Amino acid sequence: MQTVATPDPRLSAVRVLDRVIPGKGDGESLREVLRDFPLAGSDGGLMRDISFGVCRHLRPLNHWLNQQLSKPLKASAQPVRLALLAGLYELWFTERPAHAIVNAYPALCRKLKAPWAAGLSNAVLRKASQLPAEHALADATPNIRLSLPDWLYKRWRQDWPDQADAIAQANLHTPPFTLRVNRQQQQRAGAIAALGEGARPGELSPWSIYVTPARPVFDLPGFEQGALSVQDEAAQLPAELLQAPPTGRILDACAAPGGKTGQLREKFPNAELVALELEGKRLRRIEENLARLNATATLLQGDASQPDSWWDGKPFDAILLDAPCSATGILRRQPDVKWHRKSSDIPVLADLQARMLDALWPLLKPGGMLVYATCSVLREENDHQISAFLQRQPQARDVTPRPEQATMVDAGWQLFPQQDGPDGFYLACLRKGAQQDT
């Protein structure tokens, strides 16, 4: 009987990274590529950890490796470079035995059909195993140590001179595992008791729970029945703060993958809920997420910036606009975004956000609320965006509740990523005046 060889998780990680890290092309999404490598158990965990870890720490790893090479590696040797970076990541940022790591990568180079690199791998990783990361990177500039592209580090320093380094540092850590309790099925205290040791309540959202360490979702009590959903605590705030009549009409614009749609249905079980998404494939993701919650909504395919193509003319009591953005607040969850995003993307995104705000505002009833949200920490997409909107729309009032200790911004509420806490996020609650200005 023929035995099937078990995939090498380190080799699989290098294959993943070769598609994600921009080389010849623009690079694919890390989360999308990982779906093509369905390794389970500890092998899957190792592959994912290396893939995410190299993306998070790419710049300092590259910096040190370049110093060790007498001549640059050819572009065709990109897989070898990625294998060396993976070894460096494991040595410096995990607690795995150094000898096992050093021994694993020469063999991996042979599997990559690059036997010439086995000796290089052995020499580079042996040297690295004798050096703590902080010593190896002592000469690196802050933007290199914090593993950021120059444009983004400069932008954060401009926007948040006092917080920029802390934001960057938080994004180098593995994000916490956060859940949302389905209030239609259970109370938070009961869910925490059922989850047992390692479960604690969040401080910002009344239905959030942090679980340490992370667990497979199907090990969570009631997950398959929709009693719990995986959702960051900050991402729970827009739907939580949205106000609407119990039987009102609510629009969830840019709704995929459907986490906030499900949350809105849990909060407003008797409302008329409409979920809008541009792409049919992403619309199906919403449908799947709602099905697990045993929930329904009216699903529409359309462009939030062009309501004429999908709106039936009936106004909404409340609108949630989770706008397309730079994702600079969730780089710990999507570290590959750092290397795909460009400075020139930001004005384009800001223009799209402004067009969506202006297009959706007329669809809101007088007295209604629009909640604008992004997973960004760039002011051009956040409080500067909303300040400009308030100037254009004299009917709009910023009624965002925010804690006294929140960072002061021109409008709305800006959250920064916190280790063992919420992601970087922004939201603004906008109330529409009861009557037209004359």
For CA atoms 218, 220, 226, 230, give the dihedral sign. Answer: negative
Q: How far apart are CA 369 and CA 395, in angstroms?
A: 12
Q: 375 catalytic, yes or no?
A: yes
- What are the backbone dihedrals phi and psi of residue 20, each rounded to the nearest 5 degrees, phi first? -95, -45
- Alpha carbon distance 310, 316 (integer Å): 14
164: left (phi > 0), else alpha (psi -120 to 50), else beta?
alpha
Q: Give dist(CA 207, CA 382) in Å, integer.
A: 25
Answer yes or no: are the C-beta atoms of 233 and 415 closer than 8 Å.
Answer: no
C-alpha–C-alpha distance, residues 301 and 282, integer Å: 9
Query: Which residues have C-beta within 8 Å of that of residue 144, sequence separation ≥ 6?
Result: 59, 60, 63, 137
- Write out the H or E segment, with its range, that includes residue 365: strand 364-374
- Which residue among the candidates 109, 254, 375, 429 is catalytic per the annotation? 375
Closest Cα partner for 227 from 181, 177, 295? 181
Q: How far is CA 333 from the centre of its chain?
A: 4
210, 200 contact by CB (below 8 A): yes
Which residues face 259 on adjacent strands?
none
One DSSP character per residue, 221-246 reads TTTTTTSEEE--HHHHHHHHH----T
The residues annotated as belonging to the active site are 375
